[in-house]
Structure 1
Amino acid sequence: MVDCLKYRDTNHFSELVYNYVEQSPDFKAFISNFPSIEAFKVQLESKSKNFNQKNRQVLNKVLQNDYSSIDASQQTLTNIENLKLENTFTVTTGHQLNLFTGPLYFFYKIISTINLCQELSEAYPEQNFVPLYWMASEDHDFDEINFFNFKRKKVSWKSEQNGPVGEFSTSSIDEFLNQLSELFGNHKNAEDLLNLFQQAYVGHDNLADAHFYLVNTLFTKYGLVVLKPNHPQLKHCFKSYIKNELLDQTAHQHVLLQSENLKEKGYNIQVNPREINLFYIEKGIRERIVKHDGHYHVLETQLKFSETEILQLVDEHPERFSPNVIMRPLYQEVILPNLCYIGGGGELAYWLQLKSFFDSQQITFPLLLLRNSVLLYSDKTAKKLKQLNLSIQDLFLSQADLTEKIVKKESEIEIDFSEQIQYLKQQFSSLYRTALLTDASFEGAVAAQEQKQINGLKHLEKRLLKAQKRKLSDHLKRAVSLQDMLFPNGGLQERYLNFSEVYVDTGKDFIQVLKDQLKPLSGKFTAIELDIYHIEN
């Protein structure tokens, strides 16, 4: 059972997301085009002309090397080989290296990417389309990724390591395997989860390799290609842009101007550009590069370079330069034959700040697509909703609105006095005419009496509602309990739950359900009823 809702009707996203999905003209100056099957034809032509085809060979070699020691599907290996061909393009999504994938929307990002490639292959059979997952292995904010939630419990990995998280040793991660075993329970699906975690994290020396293994195991069946971007050969393809950023700080001025234009249209800015949007990375270090006194300094270190020295370092060790959130999208589009980036609302927001910068670098700006968003619920929950005379859409209401709707729907008496108030106003309109004909000074007295009567009706309506709430208290408690279960802490399920909580009840079949049901170009929020999926246990 699948229901689709308009994003605006979910009440859980920003105005920017609502307007983007609804293709507001506000965004025309900030994008190449809104995503559609037809728009990809123009994007194909533009990327074909603009992409440095030599980078394909580099990309292929890097991927061949990374996949040489991992068990990947034939479809994934074919996709890697096809990337050497000029008629092959990628659709890309990316994510941090969250422990055990982090929140559920990780899956929705990747399935959206896989399904869009399938749609494009059907529409443009003369081209190849490769779903690609970009690992954010250079990020350094460990506290954002070192946990996941399982049945309202936070499972955390503690570590004192510093620098790019992809380089973090996983030697200490086996310390809470016993904790996971207790959490997951004792049955086949739980055993599979524990084995997957152990093979990924205990079986690999660092977090990047562990995450690579995990993502490949979950999605290689569908041809997904996983890319580790922190590679000397890939960074070599980006050298000229690194130098431009160090010497001219082009990103700062363009992104700042585009950000101001977005602000004028009433949208909040997601990120603020730096004068230099690069980090310096080595083992245990990922720190900002700043320029002052004619030298380039690496913050929080003693490292300092002259202009000649730092340009030489770019030539010899480009992998020591890590793009920040402003430069990373450019890096992606330089090294990939990419057509579209799929991300969440926050990602779309910062991409919308970048087109002017891309234009200045003469790099084709990708189509931007909001990933699918999903609410999963069980057949057991569906039965409870039916008993309460509610739909899954009703649970997206605020708790106050949900309560009021139930009371009005279930009450044996009519508790909506809007008709009576309207009738009252009609009656008073004749009193106004009488007052004006008699003595105009009575108009104020009539208005006061009208408002008094309206207030009285509204007060009576509230008292009746309150009384009915008491009468329907059990019904309301059950409805609110369902809502609390499906919307943890009042937020979207996909931003809180980890896939393990679903997997325990369904096994890996739920991935195929997502694959079958998610429509990346639909512009709708999807609610999916799963058989035997008992999230409430």
Structure 2
Amino acid sequence: MKMISIPAPKSSSVADAYIHQEPEIQALFPYAPYTDSSYEVRLEQLDQREKAYLRKELVQVLRTYHQQESRHPEIAKNLDLLEQSGTSAVIGGQQAGLLSGPLFTLYKAITVIQLAKREQKRLGRPVVPVFWIAGEDHDREEIDHVWLQNAQGTMIKHTYPREMSLSKRPISHITLHQEEMKNWINQLAWQLPDTPYKSEWLTVIEAAAAKANNWTCFFAEIMFELFGKYGVILIDSQDEQVRKLEKPFFQKLLEKEEQISQRVAATLTDIEQMGYVAPLTMDPDQAHFFVLENGERQALLREKEGYRTRDTGNFYSHQDLIAQPELLSTNVITRTLMQEMLFPTLAFVAGPGEIAYWAAYGTAFEEMDCQMPIVYPRLNITLMEPNSAKRWEEFQLEWDNLFGSLSDQKEEWFRLQKPPEAVAMIEELKGKLATWYQPVIQYLSEEISTHLETIGEKNLQKHWQQIDYFSKQTDRIIREKHQTSLRHWDEIIQSLQPNQKLQERVHNVIPFWNQYGLHWLEQLVEQDLLQGKGDHIVAYL
């Protein structure tokens, strides 16, 4: 597979400043991700905390989660390693998106695999890859669909039927209705062209759905299929056995919760004073936990004597929450701390949004008497399909064009196809018409009636509208003349910038699996892609 690594353009975001090692943002993180010595120092720090980890108990829970029929020998091997003192982990995570979610979820998993493999070899110590599935999340709208391109080149949202009664239920608690899911998958398959690979992915996905009893399990089964042979350990953060294991950590988090909130808020203020947009906003009374009520996840607000749910108004004492840890779940801040409590985390693989969040968390880790792990930026990849590669050459595009609006570039290209004088002549005509009209309007309004001034202005506007109509018809004829090239532009846009976003944030693996099989994904995993520092990789299919 041909690959090109290109520097992504600099922006004013926190994530970009971190990737480019801007000193003021880097100072918020204890480790530089592209410096070898960071991993050695972090490993020493983990060794000092070895007694804090419940390795045997954690691995026992993970072995139960990785049922024998789903477990690849490499996963079993890595679970054995994780049980041993001195083994560290590289962790990345995501919500349980349908059919694995957007492509960047897979790129995050690839980064986890490659970073763990690289550091195990370099450090001479076991390092295992872990993928954290955020099963407690309840924002179903983010994960209940995939985008497909129809025959006309338009992006269509293929959404799973939503049950409004499940709006705040953790994703791991949403039952997968087998027949309904099978129908949804078949509808999706019907919208994709018949290829040699169609029956392959359809068989795999239907088998994954048949094994799963909830949405998170469905996601996990697909991840097993894609990455099991690379030994990726999966964990569902909403697993009841995991939650029981977390009880002492929840107790400590609850004791420190207000101080954590204050310190994160202070860091967010510092980030704003540096001139960056704060990555999140915080209510001063916001507690950084959710509690399950009648199966729904309710946000908690802090009070003097305990906590109260934001929406339902129910009160909970500190002891109420500790007594039933299975009802608790973390939020975007405390989730990072819980990962650190459970796993000896060498590095956390983060997307741009996560990097921005983690910039505010350093002092929260200190409050919990530990240290933030190395935060490693995930791989950014664009898949270049053969047709898109041809069109890219056809229009002589540069790599910088990938990060600008291709739709705007298409319109600029079209503008250049018009006769150079055409636009100027039409604008000149409108100007001359106004010049001719104004003296007539002024004379008639003064000599006959001021009412004629209004009528004259409206009449002028109608003439302008007719000129605009003439201009649009000219554009239409020119577009028809260049319709093949414009269609080629649309092919590039829908493949590389669907919905005016980078491909990795919209497209799912299924259309690519359907068209090309999975050999390209295996090549991405097996090639060393971590050499660039924040570069964007273009992979030719």
Bin the TM-score by the shorter chain: 0.7 to 0.9
Distance 1:327 1:293, change over 3 A: closer
CA-to-partner distance for each residue in 1:283-341, whole Å, 9 max, x for gaps?
A: 6221112243634333444643334x42xx41x43222111111000000110011111
Q: Is the 8 A contact 2:90 2:347 kept in 1?
A: yes
Separation (CA, whole Å) in 2 of partners of 1:208 and 1:339: 25
Larger CA deviation: 485-494 vs 323-332 = 485-494
Structure 2 equivalent of residue 498 of structure 1: 508
Q: Is the 8 A contact 1:104 1:497 kept in 2?
A: yes
Q: Is the 8 A contact 1:376 1:529 kept in 2?
A: yes
Separation (CA, whole Å) in 1 of partners of 2:537 and 2:266: 36
CA-to-partner distance for each residue in 1:26-76, whole Å, 9 max, x for gaps?
A: 123310111133311111111221244541111111111111343222111
Query: Does 1:243 find its partner at 2:260?
Result: no
Q: Give the letter aligned to residue 113 of structure 2.
A: I
Structure 1 equivalent of residue 460 of structure 2: none
Separation (CA, whole Å) in 2 of partners of 1:175 and 1:79: 36
Separation (CA, whole Å) in 2 of partners of 1:341 and 1:490: 29
1:391 Cα deviation from its structure 2 partner: 4.3
Distance 1:518 1:263, change over 3 A: farther
Separation (CA, whole Å) in 1 of partners of 2:281 and 2:47: 31
Structure 2 equivalent of residue 155 of structure 1: 158
Q: Give the letter aligned to residue 227 of structure 2.
A: F
Separation (CA, whole Å) in 2 of partners of 1:516 and 1:233: 34
1:184 Cα deviation from its structure 2 partner: 3.1
Structure 2 equivalent of residue 509 of structure 1: 519
- SS for the counterpart of 2:9 is helix
1:181 Cα deviation from its structure 2 partner: 2.8
Q: How does 1:370-449 map to 2 (within 5 A)?
A: 370-399=377-406, 402=409
CA-to-partner distance for each residue in 1:183-242, whole Å, 9 max, x for gaps?
A: 234344222222222222243211122222121111101111101223455445544443
Question: Which residue among 1, 13, 30 is the counterpart of 2:28?
Answer: 30
Question: Which residue among 352, 355, 368 is the counterpart of 2:375?
Answer: 368
Query: Does 1:276 find its partner at 2:287?
Result: yes
Query: Does 1:168 find its partner at 2:177?
Result: no
CA RMSD between the two structures: 3.0
1:19 Cα deviation from its structure 2 partner: 1.8
Distance 1:150 1:269, change over 3 A: same
Question: Which residue among 258, 262, 269 is the counterpart of 2:267?
Answer: 258
Structure 2 equivalent of residue 418 of structure 1: none
Question: Which residue among 307, 315, 318 is the counterpart of 1:296?
Answer: 307
| Matched residue count | 468
Separation (CA, whole Å) in 1 of partners of 2:189 and 2:247: 46
Structure 1 equivalent of residue 6 of structure 2: 5
Distance 1:179 1:29, change over 3 A: same
Larger CA deviation: 242-251 vs 271-280 = 242-251
Distance 1:29 1:302, change over 3 A: same
Separation (CA, whole Å) in 1 of partners of 2:352 and 2:538: 18
Structure 2 equivalent of residue 121 of structure 1: 120
Distance 1:116 1:409, change over 3 A: farther
TM-score (norm 1): 0.80
The alignment-based identity, stated in percent, is: 23
Q: Is the 8 A contact 1:348 1:368 kept in 2?
A: yes
Structure 2 equivalent of residue 337 of structure 1: 344
Separation (CA, whole Å) in 2 of partners of 1:52 and 1:266: 41
Query: Does 1:326 find its partner at 2:327?
Result: no
Query: Does 1:306 find its partner at 2:307?
Result: no
1:16 Cα deviation from its structure 2 partner: 2.3
Q: Give the letter aligned to residue 297 of structure 2.
A: R
Larger CA deviation: 180-189 vs 15-24 = 180-189
Distance 1:473 1:333, change over 3 A: same
Separation (CA, whole Å) in 2 of partners of 1:64 and 1:385: 48
Separation (CA, whole Å) in 2 of partners of 1:518 and 1:410: 43
Structure 1 equivalent of residue 452 of structure 2: none
Q: How does 1:66-81 map to 2 (within 5 A)?
A: 66-81=65-80
Separation (CA, whole Å) in 1 of partners of 2:49 and 2:56: 16
Separation (CA, whole Å) in 2 of partners of 1:233 and 1:404: 56
Q: Give the letter aligned to residue 5 of structure 1.
A: I
Q: How does 1:484-495 map to 2 (within 5 A)?
A: 484-485=493-494, 486-495=496-505
Q: Is the 8 A contact 2:39 2:346 kept in 1?
A: yes
- SS for the counterpart of 1:30 is coil
Q: Is the 8 A contact 1:251 1:277 kept in 2?
A: no
Q: Is the 8 A contact 1:163 1:282 kept in 2?
A: no
Q: How does 1:450-469 map to 2 (within 5 A)?
A: none
Question: Which residue among 510, 526, 529 is the counterpart of 1:519?
Answer: 529
- SS for the counterpart of 2:54 is helix
1:352 Cα deviation from its structure 2 partner: 0.7
Q: Is the 8 A contact 1:255 1:356 kept in 2?
A: yes
Separation (CA, whole Å) in 2 of partners of 1:525 and 1:306: 49
TM-score (norm 2): 0.79
